[in-house]
């Protein structure tokens, strides 16, 4: 992937998510004193709040996510500990504490990347899937800042941006730290490709509590969606998050069961993606998108490649394996018609999926070509994504479904 130092964090993360799907030491953040009392690492025991009337914390169970744990230590009532096992490739675990009023942390404050007062009221989101999770829990009114509106699909956030209730703050090296500080956020949600991300360093220096979201690194669709529970823990909405996710997981597994017993000859062959910067990124067999294809009853043609990232092949290698593929999914973002495919490379017309008109893209919900709801709400709705794929490949199994994220390429 070609690096551009001026690309925003969101655009870099979207690229990483796409390639992963198609597939600090972390230095502790300094203490934040302001809206909502937060304990820093140097707070003396005598200055800690009294433990009277500590709010009860809802229990949270994690079933599918491999990169997230949420615990309520019995030794420290009113504290929820959130651990991100590997926030970026090769990164060590980072831990956060969510504190109810009157609670005291179990561990020395230096062990926490951030200590956050429960129910943060003013939140900045520098990553789009967090918008969808907050929408699910009725919390969008607490969003006061975003990185780049160009990548946001949610209409409520866009309306609040137009009214000035939500402010663009930029991201990465272009993060407007003065604007961030002026918004007096209780919490900032970010994603990062490594510990040296400019936004992380600068927010840390300002003492602003930050939580790194690494849901995009989950390989299983349900594991990625289960990060909704992190938002439940942070905002005292654990019961709602548990119930909502359980409903979605049940629907996903019901759809999975519909296709589980399909014989091999009823599983259509699948190719994915398109040529990009001189090569073709192919999702590995353990990737998020490959798992969706398998659960939808498809035969993904590169499921023999181990790993969760992307392998970059040349067009001739793709043709050798996928010339007769039944379906072609997840097309290039600028392909809106078959003519666009021809303009990209006339050799692409040699694929059987092109000739049969079985090309489908996850761009049914886009705004101005940049904001694609597949990468926003779709991460939390694997049940709907899977329903789209099942309906496309096995319409007899799900005849009443109307696709949400996928649509057929225009003639």
At 55-78, the pLDDT tens digits run 667 778 899 999 999 999 888 889
Does 56 lie in the same domain as 116? Answer: yes
Does 194 lie in the same domain as 239? Answer: yes
**Residue 1, in any domain of the structure:** no
Q: What pLDDT score was predicted for residue 35?
A: 29
Least confident interval from 20-29, 64-73, 83-92, 285-294: 20-29
- Of 200, 215, 243, the residue at which a domain comes to its end is 243
Q: What pLDDT score was predicted for residue 110?
A: 60
> Which range in 22-31, 173-182, 247-256 is most confidently predicted, on average pLDDT?
247-256
Residue 201: pLDDT above 90? no
pLDDT band at 109 (very low <50, low <70, confident <90, very high): low
> Which range in 9-23, 38-52, 283-297 is most confidently predicted, on average pLDDT?
283-297
Stretch 216-239: mean pLDDT: 96
Phi, psi of 91, rounded to the nearest 5 degrees:
-80, 145
**Residue 252, in any domain of the structure:** no
> Which range in 13-22, 181-190, 361-370 is most confidently predicted, on average pLDDT?
181-190
Residue 50: pLDDT above 50? no
Q: What pLDDT score was predicted for residue 27?
A: 28
pLDDT band at 53 (very low <50, low <70, confident <90, very high): low
pLDDT band at 300 (very low <50, low <70, confident <90, very high): very high
Mean pLDDT value across the chain? 87
Rounded CA gap, 187 and 208, in Å?
Answer: 7
CB–CB of 253/155 below 8 Å? Answer: no
Does 136 lie in the same domain as 198? Answer: yes
**Residue 378, in any domain of the structure:** yes
Q: Which residue carries 């070509």 as its tokens?
A: 369
Does 101 lie in the same domain as 180? Answer: yes
The set of long-range contacts for 201-204, using a CB threshold of 8 Å and a minimum separation of 24, is: 202/175, 202/177, 203/29, 203/175, 203/177, 204/27, 204/29, 204/30
Q: What pLDDT score was predicted for residue 52?
A: 52
Rounded CA gap, 223 and 218, in Å?
Answer: 6
Burial class (CB in 10 A: 0-12, 13-18, 19+), 62: middle
- Of 181, 208, 243, the residue at which a domain comes to its end is 243
CB–CB of 303/269 below 8 Å? Answer: no
Q: What pLDDT score was predicted for residue 42?
A: 34
CATH number at 151 reads 3.40.50.1980
Rounded CA gap, 159 and 194, in Å?
Answer: 33
Q: What pLDDT score was predicted for residue 7?
A: 42
Does 301 lie in the same domain as 196? Answer: no
Q: What pLDDT score was predicted for residue 30?
A: 30
Does 394 lie in the same domain as 319? Answer: yes
pLDDT band at 1 (very low <50, low <70, confident <90, very high): very low
Q: pLDDT digit string (tens) for 125-160?
A: 999 999 999 999 999 999 999 999 999 999 999 999
Q: Which residue carries 């893209």 as its tokens?
A: 361
**Residue 255, in any domain of the structure:** no
- Residue bearing the bigger pLDDT, 73 or 281: 281
Rounded CA gap, 43 and 135, in Å?
Answer: 35
**Residue 248, in any domain of the structure:** no
**Count of domains forming the chain:** 2
- In 3D space, the residue among 203, 233, 181 whose CA is nearest the CA of residue 29 turns out to be 203
Does 171 lie in the same domain as 286? Answer: no
pLDDT band at 200 (very low <50, low <70, confident <90, very high): confident
Q: pLDDT digit string (tens) for 344-359?
A: 999 999 999 999 999 9
Share of the chain above pLDDT 90, in %: 72
Cβ neighbours, 10 Å, residue 338: 16
Does 134 lie in the same domain as 267? Answer: no
Q: What pLDDT score was predicted for residue 54?
A: 62
**Residue 254, in any domain of the structure:** no
- Residue bearing the bigger pLDDT, 137 or 205: 137
CB–CB of 309/284 below 8 Å? Answer: yes
**Residue 199, in any domain of the structure:** yes
Element (H, E) at 89: none
Does 270 lie in the same domain as 229? Answer: no
Residue 369: pLDDT above 90? no
Does 272 lie in the same domain as 203? Answer: no
- Residue bearing the bigger pLDDT, 84 or 171: 84
List, as one string, the DSSP characters of 168-232. E---GGG--HHHHHHT--SEEEE--SSTT-HHHHHHHHTT--EEE--GGG-SSHHHHHTTHHHHH
Does 267 lie in the same domain as 164? Answer: no
- Of 190, 214, 243, the residue at which a domain comes to its end is 243
**Residue 256, in any domain of the structure:** no
Does 270 lie in the same domain as 230? Answer: no
Range of the domain at 374: 262-408
């Amino acid at each position: 992937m070609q690096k551009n130092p001026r690309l925003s964090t969101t655009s870099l993360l979207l690229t990483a998510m796409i390639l992963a799907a198609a597939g600090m030491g972390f230095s502790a953040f300094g203490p934040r004193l302001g809206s909502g009392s937060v304990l820093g690492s140097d707070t003396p025991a005598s200055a800690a709040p009294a433990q009277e009337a500590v709010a009860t914390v809802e229990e949270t169970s994690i079933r599918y996510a491999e990169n997230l744990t949420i615990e309520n230590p019995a030794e420290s009532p009113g504290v929820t500990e959130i651990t991100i096992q590997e926030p970026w490739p090769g990164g060590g675990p980072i831990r956060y504490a969510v504190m109810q009023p009157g609670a005291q942390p179990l561990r020395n404050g230096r062990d926490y990347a951030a200590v956050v007062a429960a129910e943060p009221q003013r939140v900045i989101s520098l990553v789009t899937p967090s918008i969808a999770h907050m929408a699910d829990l009725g919390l969008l009114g607490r969003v006061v800042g975003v990185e780049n509106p160009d990548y946001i699909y949610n209409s409520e956030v866009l309306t609040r941006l137009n009214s000035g209730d939500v402010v663009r703050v930029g991201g990465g090296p272009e993060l407007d730290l003065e604007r961030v500080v002026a918004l007096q956020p209780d919490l900032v949600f970010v994603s990062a490709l490594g510990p040296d991300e400019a936004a992380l360093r600068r927010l840390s220096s300002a003492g602003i509590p930050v939580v790194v979201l690494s849901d995009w690194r989950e390989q299983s669709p349900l594991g990625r969606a289960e990060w909704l529970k992190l938002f439940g823990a942070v905002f005292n909405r654990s019961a709602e998050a548990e119930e909502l996710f359980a409903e979605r997981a049940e629907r996903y597994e019901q759809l999975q069961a519909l296709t589980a017993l399909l014989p091999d000859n009823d599983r259509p062959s699948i190719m994915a993606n398109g040529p990009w910067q001189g090569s073709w990124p192919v999702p590995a067999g353990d990737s998020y998108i490959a798992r969706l294809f398998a659960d939808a009853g498809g035969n993904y043609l590169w499921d023999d490649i181990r790993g969760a990232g992307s392998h970059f092949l040349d067009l001739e290698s793709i043709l050798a394996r996928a010339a007769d593929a039944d379906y072609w999914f997840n097309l290039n973002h600028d392909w809106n018609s078959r003519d666009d495919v021809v303009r990209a490379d006339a050799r692409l017309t040699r694929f059987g999926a092109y000739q049969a008109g079985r090309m489908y893209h996850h761009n049914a919900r886009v705004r101005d070509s940049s904001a694609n709801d597949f990468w926003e709400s779709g991460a939390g709705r694997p049940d709907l994504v899977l329903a789209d794929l099942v309906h496309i490949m096995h319409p007899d199994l799900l005849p009443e479904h109307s696709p949400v994220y996928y649509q057929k390429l225009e003639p």
